[in-house]
Amino acid sequence: MIKSTCPGSPELIALGAEAVLVKACYEGMPSIFKVRVRKPYRDRGLDTMLIRSRSEVEAKILAELRLKGLNVPALYYVDLSEGLIVMEFVEGPLLRDLIYRGSEKALKCLEELGELVASVHDAGVVHGDITTSNVIVGGDGVYLVDFGLAKYSRRLEDLATDIHLFIRSVESTHYGLKEALLRHFMKGYAKVKGRDFTDSLLIKVKEIRMRGRYVEERRVRRGI
């Protein structure tokens, strides 16, 4: 395990079920140290394999997207055996907080986010957890962070699921503004992927949402 190379105490950013995030310095640069959490209930060999494989996919995706010029954190260091990824610390507020504050920039940022997500999809990557809490508004545009659930896929079903999950997060977090936020997001998405593809994607999103409602109704009827 490497150590912070700057004086002062590291700052705990997040302590989640899957990973711990700490802000510290790496080679003199403010950085995020992400360490995947070991699961004591899992077979140790399996746990090590899963941590290694998931860290490898996340690091590879970050590196590839960055090489394409997309706004994701730069990758600095990886230790697969420890499940450690060191990446750029992106300075700026969360998009979630800009929306809460009623910032005039919010709708423009949603459109930029739509373009960024479309470009990520165009690269054959599904993020898996697009929320306004996983978007940082940096000095040169919006950054998509936390690729811990990301995977490679170009299947329309997977891309639509990515958008479906984003829509659900906006509905639960910013319900009163959801229509305007989602309209600007999809406007940005269509700029990159084109209107025809975006319309096909939204049809698939609607199918996924209807499936979810059907399953929920069955649960209610059964009293589950």
Position 1 in a domain: no
Q: List the one residue out of 163, 99, 102, 164 whose CA is nearest residue 132.
A: 99
Kind of pairing between the strands at 151-152 and 141-144:
unpaired
Quick one: average pLDDT of 185-212? Answer: 95
* Distance between start and end Cα atoms, the chain: 46
Residue 222 banded pLDDT, cuts 50, 70, 90: low
pLDDT at 192: 98
Indicate if 178 and 123 belong to the same structural domain.
yes
Q: Residue 185 belongs to a domain with what CATH number?
A: 1.10.510.10
pLDDT at 167: 97
State the Cα–Cα distance between residues 215 and 185, nearest whole angstrom.
27
Whether 152 and 159 have beta carbons less than 8 Å apart is answered as no
- Supply 15's token pair: 């302590």
Q: Could you give the 3-state DSSP secondary structure of residue 104?
A: coil
H helix runs in 131-194, sequence order = 156-173, 178-193
Indicate if 99 and 84 belong to the same structural domain.
no
pLDDT at 1: 45
For the chain, how long is the longest CA-to-CA vector? 59
> What domain range is 70 assigned to?
11-88
Indicate if 75 and 139 belong to the same structural domain.
no
- Supply 123's token pair: 């690269």
Indicate if 116 and 210 belong to the same structural domain.
yes
Q: List the one residue out of 191, 189, 184 whose CA is nearest residue 202.
A: 189
43 is catalytic: no
| Number of structural domains the chain divides into | 2
Chain segment 37-56, per-residue pLDDT in tens: 988 888 888 989 999 999 99
Active site residue: 43, 129, 140, 146, which one? Answer: 129
Identity of residue 30: P
What element of type H or E holds 63? helix 44-67
Indicate if 107 and 207 belong to the same structural domain.
yes
